[in-house]
């Protein structure tokens, strides 16, 4: 991934890595806490990474197919 992906995709992946490590160090959450976090969309770890990957994919597809 570090060889083939853009800096934006790598940065997004590294952010996920940091968030996962920070989560392990944070106080435990209750089930109700987790449900509230999901409902407020504050735990979507992959949103930025997915967007960066889609952007890179579209860029590569445009280069390949001349779009």
CA atoms of 41 and 61, how far apart (whole Å): 30
The verdict on residue 29 lying in a domain is: yes
Joined tokens for residue 33: 């806490």
Helices within the chain (DSSP H only): 7-25, 31-39, 47-65
Domain carrying residue 60: 7-65
Q: Residue 41 has what pLDDT?
A: 84
pLDDT single digits (tens) 13-67: 999 999 999 989 999 999 999 899 889 988 888 999 999 999 999 999 888 887 5
Joined tokens for residue 37: 């976090």
The verdict on residue 40 lying in a domain is: yes
Q: Residue 56 has what pLDDT?
A: 95
Residue 42 to residues 4, 27, 48, 57, Cα–Cα distance (Å): 29, 16, 12, 26
Domain count of the fold of the chain: 1
The verdict on residue 1 lying in a domain is: no
Q: Residue 42 has what pLDDT?
A: 82
The verdict on residue 37 lying in a domain is: yes
Joined tokens for residue 32: 């109700």
Q: Residue 67 has what pLDDT?
A: 58
């Amino acid at each position: 991934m570090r060889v083939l992906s853009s800096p934006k995709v790598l940065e997004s992946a590294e952010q996920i890595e940091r968030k996962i490590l920070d989560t392990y160090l944070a106080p435990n959450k209750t089930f109700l806490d987790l449900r509230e976090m999901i409902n407020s969309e504050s735990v979507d770890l992959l949103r930025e990474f997915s967007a960066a990957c889609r952007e890179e994919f579209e860029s590569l597809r445009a280069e390949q197919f001349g779009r």
